[in-house]
Amino acid sequence: MEFFLKHKTVIFRTLGVIFLLIGFLIRFWVMPQEVVSQNDRASANLARMEASVAGAAHQSSKKKVDKTHLLKKLKETQKKQLEYLTILAMFLGGVSLGYSFLGRKREGS
């Protein structure tokens, strides 16, 4: 406990910098930009070719249940969770840095 009290400002500044770095790394390095991947492009081309080959015969048969909306919702949820994690990390980093600079001075010093 004495170690923490003695080095409180250094600990808070270090934690602040670490949290800010984690937030920026997650935001700009881990979270990719939205682009169409080759797999998405290939699946769209495949669906287009299947639709053109099937033609009118495919319209008369029953439609298949589309389960891709579940995958899209899952990806959107994961993206939101990463955004919230980056916001939390940056907020904690800013608070700890601010506290280290605005902390009370000791009475003995």
Could you read off the pLDDT of 33-64 as tens digits, one per residue? 666 677 778 888 888 888 877 765 555 556 66
**pLDDT averaged over the chain?**
79
Cβ-based neighbours of 9, under 8 Å, separated by 6 or more: 100, 103
**Side-chain half-sphere CA neighbours of 58 within 13 A:** 11
pLDDT value, residue 108: 46
pLDDT value, residue 7: 87
pLDDT value, residue 93: 87
The pairs formed by 63-69 with CB atoms below 8 angstroms and a separation of 24 or more are: none
* Mean pLDDT (whole number) for 80-105: 84
CB 89 within 8 Å of CB 2 = no
This prediction has a pTM of 0.55
Kindly tell me if the per-residue pLDDT of 80 is higher than 60: yes
